[in-house]
Amino acid sequence: MTSNPADLHRAFASFDTEWSPHIVTRVNDYDVRIVKIRGEFVWHRHVDTDEFFHVISGDVDIALRDDDGRERVVNLTEGSVFTVPRGTEHKPSSISGAHVLLFEPSDTVNTGDKHGDIPSHISSTTGRVMSAG
């Protein structure tokens, strides 16, 4: 990490991978991560933490599933923020693609409790630290 400001537009331009979060800075024990998304993620949950989404550009749908199996979809447009409560099963997706900022504890794996059958277009990771500059 660096003590210099981070330009999010430059940071997003520095990588092409989708569904692979990059860490732009840390706040205490939390990462500020950015990710490019297109298509569908996997159903998963984070048992011990909420997950904060801020859509920088594009549109994102987050499907949510309650404990009774009922589903609903939250649509996020550019500039929207949404927090998925801890323990809530969810699946983000974007048809046209989006740039998203995430805020979550540093040891949080993006695929949460999903350990098997992860499609090859998704990296299961705690994020990649962005290089300085």
10 SS3 class: helix
Please say if the pLDDT value at position 2 is more than 70: no
111 SS3 class: coil
Please say if the pLDDT value at position 74 is more than 60: yes
- Positive or negative torsion for Cα 103, 108, 114, 120: positive
- pTM of the model as a whole: 0.92
C-alpha gyration radius of the chain: 14
What pLDDT score was predicted for residue 131?
73
Please say if the pLDDT value at position 1 is more than 70: no
Please say if the pLDDT value at position 3 is more than 80: no
Domain 23-109 is found in CATH 2.60.120.10: yes
Q: Residue 132: pLDDT band by 50, 70, 90 thresholds?
A: low
| φ and ψ at residue 9, rounded to 5 degrees | -65, -45
Could you write out the three-class secondary structure of 29-78? CEEEEEEEEEEECCCECCCCCCEEEEEEEECEEEEEECCCCCEEEEEECC
* Whole-angstrom distance, CA of residue 24 vs CA of residue 2: 9
